[in-house]
């Protein structure tokens, strides 16, 4: 297996855990920083899941990615 795919998966997992941990500890709110961490995490995990043929996980992370992208876009629109 391609080592970059493995790195992407682990980085994605770390990004999602970091986002959740920071939000739970009230270090960040559910704003742009949280959404960017979620997007990065979903992208990394989706890439890894696709490479491994783990379609349920890939599907979940692609939906997670879309939800984060929409939330980030709406947040940016509100800031204007």
pLDDT of residue 75: 85
Task: Please give the model's pTM, rounded to 2 decimal places.
Answer: 0.90
Q: What is the largest CA-CA distance in the chain?
A: 44
Query: What are the residue ranges of helices labelled H in 25-79?
Result: 32-52, 55-79
Quote the domain boundaries for residue 10: 3-79
Residue 65 has a pLDDT of: 94
pLDDT value at residue 1: 79
Neighbours of 62 (CB within 10 A): 16
What is the count of structural domains for the chain? 1
80 residues of the chain, pLDDT tens digit each: 799 999 999 999 999 999 999 999 999 999 999 999 999 999 999 999 999 999 999 999 999 999 999 999 998 888 87
Are the CB atoms for 14 and 21 separated by under 8 Å?
no
């Amino acid at each position: 297996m391609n080592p970059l795919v493995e790195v992407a998966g682990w980085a994605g997992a770390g990004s999602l855990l970091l986002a959740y941990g920071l939000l739970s500890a009230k270090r960040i709110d559910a704003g742009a920083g949280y959404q960017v961490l979620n997007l990065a995490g979903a992208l990394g995990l989706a890439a890894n899941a696709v490479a491994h043929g783990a379609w349920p996980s890939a599907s979940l992370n692609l939906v997670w990615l879309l939800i984060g992208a929409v939330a980030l876009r709406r947040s940016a629109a509100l800031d204007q």
